[in-house]
Structure 1
Amino acid sequence: MALTKLESRDGTTDISIESYAYAYQDADNIHDAAWHRNWVGFHAPEHRITFDDIMLDSLLVAHYIPVFESFVAGGVQEVAFEPTEPFVSLTLTRRDGGGDEVNVRGRLEHPLGDETEELDFEFETSVLKVEQFLQGLREIASEFPVRKIE
């Protein structure tokens, strides 16, 4: 299992994504073989949401690693993380140019009975916490690399 987590500066809010298996073990093409089974958790003072679904894929994780590396290094001031499936989207913006303050705006679509509920949220975090999220993406990429289909 490999986990990435983005936490607010004060620790009261976080979003976690854990890849714990390939979704399609017998896939016959690189795209289906790349999908992961994911556990997703969102915790805030007024919400505690968890669900299990197919959300990330190895190709997408590999795409986002250099994007977040550039953000952490200060090369870009904003990054949008939007997995292929519309369950979680995060937009991270540096509030003070080259400083440590990062604003996170997000949307979480999660199953609620037979319907989907959408939740918009926002919190402040730091570049260090974004770097920890990046490290989690690297761990996911390491544990669930793009599989070669023969």
Structure 2
Amino acid sequence: MSSLHASNTLHILKVKYLEKLSAVKTFMKDHNLSAEIQARVINEKNISFKENEGVHTPGGQRLMYDMPIALQEDVAYFETKELFQKVPLFKDCDEAFLRRLALKTHDYIYSPGDKIITQGDKSREMYLIQKGRCEASM
């Protein structure tokens, strides 16, 4: 009975892995990541699955966050490089700084009329508009 249970568990873990891999591939395709980065990500996911026998590893809450930090950085920088190049504040920053900064970025989608920040709020965030526009009012 325990052999059957172990086999079922491994099957379930493989199905979950394949679902995650499919989501990662979709993410990479949707974000037009280079073929080289895509191949590295898929290779890392395959190695990780084989080494961990499908067991969930810490830090895997988001699609890319259970990968080695250097690969996370490559993916994040590929995603943000074009946006950073459009921001005058980042014009003279070195690539190493921008690569680290890219790891800290988050995408948010706001609907028309959403309040993003209110004057006087204390915040440690910086917002960059990648697509669309916003209105500032006082």
Alignment TM class, shorter chain as reference: under 0.3
The structure having more radius of gyration, on CA atoms, is 2
- Name the structure where helix makes up a greater proportion of residues: 2
- Name the structure where strand makes up a greater proportion of residues: 1
TM-score, normalisation: structure 2: 0.28
Q: Say which structure, 1 or 2, has more relative contact order (CA 8 Å, 6+ apart).
A: 1
